[in-house]
Structure 1
Amino acid sequence: MSDAKRTVLITGCSDGGLGAALAIAFHEAGLHVYATARNPSKMEQLASLGIETLTLDVLLDSSIAACVSKVSHLDILVNNAGGTYGTPVSDLSIPEAKKLFDLNVWAYIAVTQAFFPLLLESEGIIVNHTSAASVIAVPFQSVYHASKAAMSMFSDTQRLELEPFGVRVVDLKSGYVKSNLNFHNEGFQGLPKGSIYEPAKETVESSMRGDGLVDLGIPAQEWAKQVVQDLLKRKPPANIWRGASAFLVWVGTFLPYGMLDSTAKKSSGFDIVEQKVRKQ
């Protein structure tokens, strides 16, 4: 690897995901890419393209330390690994919600702290993938959106704190993008018995799984190329809005409170849930 070649490390790069799409786009742009995932066998496609793959479980300090020891120089860190958890607020499991915050918030900070000496040396870029979910409320997705909103505030504060050191912080607020994240429903348990939403159980559980989102979004490859193009600008923007509906959500941040509620209800199927519940 040439000393002059810029380097990027991305978390959550299992084949078929957004991290993998970013790894390919950065690779095609000429950077040396460190693609990481908890299970390296899930990055076979990236490895076949000549992309360097490393094991990294963002929830384990020992795994983070081991990964850091294999990287001698770093220009860009992309905190991308994350998960989802859909359920009504009235039914959510607080232990499960805490697990999601561990993955979507605290792991980002832990990984950033571990790689920070390298980023300080290179005056590099920290990218936190919070998504458009950080600024819009969607029924049955409160835990996921709240975790993204929390990370967005950490990211914005990092941006201010690290300016004196020449380290840039970018909040990646993606809209809908086609990826395997929509299909991660292992262990899905559905509504608990006695839920106030039982009259609309089938529709609610479909919304909890994100079934209506599967066919939404732009292709991951298209999204990734746009994001990488933005990040490789001489002065990357503090917020990057890419993906389907990202522009709509951005506009919504300037509109009066609640103006996007009907859009959120329709996209999540909550408009149908509302009708069924009101009939009871």
Structure 2
Amino acid sequence: MVKFEAIMLEDFLRCSDLTPREVRKKVLQQISGFLESMGKSIASFGLVPNDLSSFDVENQTRELLPERSITVREEDLNAISLLNEKQRHAFEIISHRVYENKSGAFFVDGPGGTGKSFLYRALLADVRSKGYLALATATSGIAASILPGGRTAHSRFKIPIDLLEGRACRVSKQSSLAAMIRESKLIIWDEAPMSKRSAIEALNDLLQDLMNSSEIFGGKVVIFGGDFRQTLPIVRRGNQSETINACIINSPLWPSLEKL
């Protein structure tokens, strides 16, 4: 790092008004991102100087920066005042858990077109506007694209597509993705009834591991939502009973979810 430091600092010094210390941190964050893409951690290479911590460097890499740069739209903030009675009830219960640092695992149930996504957008805008992280995910890419900053749950939490290989999410506890998940105040998973219960149980295992907690979903505030009247999980060559057994309602987690 010392040998090539001057060369690596050049572009950052030319294009910004940052202090030398901030520029050095930017370079280290870029290196950390490159290493992470190869499954490595910068902490393993002794590149971080004593006046910076590995957490400071890794915590601002490619996973976290896009989340922090999500624009909160005015119309989503205004949506809070337009919520109907049942949406407002759910909004207040969930917000209370978020800002009081209390755990909460919810299932928002409602037929298609009754305003679940409208509620999610209001919650995401409220949390993000206060400077906190909120992760928006969905089972399908189409549903994820409706939510600001939305990703598929399989992509966001590295859940294996073929769950026969095991339930474990492929997230290292030392990665920036793990740091981002730990920092998040709210996690939303839309169209959850379309997903197999094993995927949702894998998320529970991941959060408990990352948060070092035996509470459901590691004590995080997590919202699942969807409509059981629509598409259920797809079980290859499965009969009706196998499909129903794969549903979230047959998960041991289901009785612990608060239904809204």
Fold equivalence (TM over 0.5) = no
TM-score normalized with structure 2 length:
0.32
TM-score normalized with structure 1 length:
0.30
